[in-house]
Amino acid sequence: MAGDPTSFFTNGHDEKLQQFWARERGMPNSASLRDILYAQIEEHRTEVFYNLDPMRYQSDFIRGLPGCVRRCIAWRAAPSPGADFSAYDCVVCNFPGILQNYAAQGWNVGYFAPAVDPIMEEYAANENRRTDILFVGSYSRHHRQRAAILESVAAQCAEFRVAFHLDCSRLTRTAESPLGRLLPLRAHRRPGSIRRLALRPVYGRELYAAFGNAKIVLNGAIDMAGDERGNMRCFEATGCGAALVTDAGKYPPGFVDDSTMCTYTSADDVVRVLRVLLEDQGRLQRIRTCGFAEMSSRYSKAAQWRDFMNLIDRF
């Protein structure tokens, strides 16, 4: 973030980015994306390899790293059956149950939390918020719990300004097209109530701007999460000054119901919680203010860097 030359970031599977870098250095066109990533690490003389995509770069990749690399840390916050992370010095995330499963396989693990992007403060300062209820993410019938929540809100909150920025598959887009309606693709079409609210996906600064324009950000864990919570949406919503309304469960420190966020227990209950907040602007403002203050302090980049260095020192 500060442009420090001792750090280097890349997306190893971004074909255009990686091939452009390789051409600049005179690498042959036949160089694989893996070879290019190895070359980047060697040129940078990387000592700590921190990987957010360990399913793509498992132990076989780690064993081929240049000798300059002293520590390898992987972030993985999902069940990973069949994966091999044994060559990493540590596998980290903020879901204790998932870490326990990794530890049972003999891997070193460490608790490590996301951080609030300092840039989010620009969006948190906005008090002229035009969207009452915002959801950003995916809608899928495979994740019944989340789908039921979104369908309930779409059906029962017509008097509020609701926006769903949804990522959908190519098959869903085809099924919902005029031609696709003539094909046997009904199972891939979203309910009409969802389609009416669906907007295009947003990322990066556009994502922050959407959160900064929302009074409430709706969150719902996908089914694989069990009762543990703490996905990135929780940190993004509070970091951008919105009130987080999310499903009940075990949350990281600082996430407290009716203080820094509000929780719901069912598809019917979420509508009740949303109405209570939107009809009590004082309470809504208190949740927004307390959520931003707590998360931007507890989960600051400075605190995250301190925790990261502590992880390095452990091994």
The residue to which tokens 């309910």 are assigned? 191
The domain spans of the chain are: 45-115+300-314, 120-298
φ, ψ at 148 (rounded to 5°): -65, -40
Give buried/exposed letters for 271-299 (b at 16+ CB in 10 A, else e). bebbeebbeeeeebebbbebbbebbbebb
Question: Exposed, middle or buried by CB within 10 Å (0-12, 13-18, 19+), for 127?
Answer: exposed
287 touches 261 (CB < 8 A) = yes
What does DSSP assign to residue 247?
E
Which DSSP letter does residue 78 get?
S
Q: Tokens 């931007």, residue?
A: 296
**What predicted TM-score, i.e. pTM, was given to this entire model?**
0.90
Residue with the two structure tokens 């039921």: 148
Sign of CA dihedral 84, 88, 94, 97: positive
Residue 91: enclosing H or E segment and its boundaries? strand 90-93
Is 3.40.50.2300 the CATH classification of the domain at 120-298?
A: no
Residue 115 to residues 33, 296, 303, 307: CA-CA distances in angstroms?
Answer: 29, 8, 8, 11
- What span, in angstroms and rounded, lies between the C-alpha atoms of 120 and 202? 15
The set of residues, in sequence order, having a beta carbon less than 8 Å from that of 20 and lying 6+ positions away, is none
Rounded Cα–Cα distance for residues 29 and 23 (Å): 8
Q: Write out the chain's pLDDT in tens, 315 residues.
A: 788 999 999 999 999 999 999 999 999 999 999 999 999 999 999 999 999 999 999 999 999 999 999 999 999 999 899 999 999 999 999 999 999 999 999 999 999 999 999 999 999 999 999 999 999 998 876 677 888 999 999 998 889 999 999 987 776 666 667 776 767 766 667 788 888 888 999 999 999 999 999 999 999 876 665 789 999 999 999 999 999 999 999 999 999 999 999 999 999 999 999 999 999 999 999 999 999 999 999 999 999 999 999 999 988
